[in-house]
């Protein structure tokens, strides 16, 4: 306590504590309660229960035997997150993993979960049949047959310069030599398509396209061979 100051009041104290300098602690009645003042700053250290401060605290607080006292400290304590991790790390880890999984499932993706399967390449016969069926479905097929004949003649002309000057039978024989196909089948495929059924016309177009591609492949091989 401070020896150069003292407490004074106009009321009669119900309790007081004095030293040689005067009154240093007192309690006075205020309405239906009381106010206790201590002229010092005690009760600040951990040795409260080891000296006279404990008796001053009990007297100033009006404590009695059996009363319950709670001491509140302002020391630093771990944060709530630190306490959660210290006492429940497994639960926190599982919760974070589940949250991350839910966010991942709900987020916008930049592509499919799996790479798309590469579509199988159709064979030459399938492509020819598909083209012929489309043409027949949307017309008689005569125009497609004429286009196939022209394409076959152009391919044969690139292999044989005299091909345009040949007659019909000679052209058929030349095509048979270039492709290895049956001459009669080639002649029938090149013939007038108006007298054929759709099934026959489809087969003729397929044969003409197969012959053209065979000549084109052989022409490519010959070109690379001459280089």
Q: What is the pLDDT of residues 66-85, one digit of tens each?
A: 888 877 766 667 788 888 88
| Full DSSP string of 65-86 | TT-------------HHHHHHH
pTM for this model (two decimals): 0.40
Which pLDDT value is given to residue 137? Answer: 65
Higher pLDDT, 175 or 221: 175
pLDDT value of residue 158: 87
pLDDT of 62 over the 50 cut = yes
pLDDT category of residue 122 using cuts at 50, 70 and 90: low
Q: What is the C-alpha separation between 82 and 75, in angstroms, rounded? A: 16
**Mean pLDDT over the full length of the chain:** 79
């Amino acid at each position: 306590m401070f020896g150069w100051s003292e407490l004074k009041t106009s009321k009669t104290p119900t309790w007081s504590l004095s030293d040689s300098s005067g009154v240093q602690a007192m309690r006075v009645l205020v309405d239906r309660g009381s106010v206790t003042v201590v002229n010092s700053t005690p009760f600040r250290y951990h040795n409260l229960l080891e000296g006279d401060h404990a008796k001053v605290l009990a007297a100033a607080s009006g404590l009695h035997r059996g009363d319950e006292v709670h001491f509140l400290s302002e020391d630093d304590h771990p944060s709530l997150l630190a306490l959660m991790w210290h006492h429940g790390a497994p639960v926190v880890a599982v919760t974070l993993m589940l949250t991350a999984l839910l966010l991942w499932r709900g987020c916008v993706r930049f592509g499919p979960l799996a790479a798309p399967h590469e579509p199988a390449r159709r064979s030459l016969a399938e492509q020819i049949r598909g083209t012929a069926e489309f043409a027949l479905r949307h017309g008689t097929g005569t125009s497609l047959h004429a286009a196939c004949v022209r394409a076959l003649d152009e391919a044969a002309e690139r292999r044989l310069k005299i091909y345009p000057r040949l007659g019909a039978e000679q052209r058929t024989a030349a095509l048979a030599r270039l492709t290895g196909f049956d001459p009669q089948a080639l002649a029938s495929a090149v013939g007038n398509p108006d007298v054929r059924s759709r099934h026959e016309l489809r087969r003729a177009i397929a044969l003409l396209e197969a012959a053209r591609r065979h000549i084109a492949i052989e022409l490519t091989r010959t070109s690379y061979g001459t280089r």
